[in-house]
Amino acid sequence: MTHIVKNAVRAIGEDSNTYSAHSLRSGFVTTAAKKGVPVRLIRQQTGHASYEMLDRYIYTTANLTDNATRYLR
């Protein structure tokens, strides 16, 4: 799978050294979380072993959109 990703990245003129098949998984999780997809459905799709591991993928999204400061308006 990684060679497919790297070939596609090279085809669009980007540096393939910074991409892997993991980029697809990470990108999916980040995008799904931003769109409000329930974490149980994301986990079901990705096969993460635990919610804790899945949370590592969506942390950067959650801290921007779902944090305590939104209640301080």
In tens, the pLDDT along 47-59 reads 999 988 888 887 5
Q: Are 10 and 41 in contact (CB under 8 A)?
A: no
Q: What's the pLDDT band for 40 if we cut at 50, 70, 90? A: very high
Mean pLDDT, residues 24-45 = 89
Share of the chain above pLDDT 90, in %: 23
Say which amino acid occupies 7: N
Percentage of the chain exceeding pLDDT 70: 86
pTM: 0.61
For the chain, the domains span 2-67
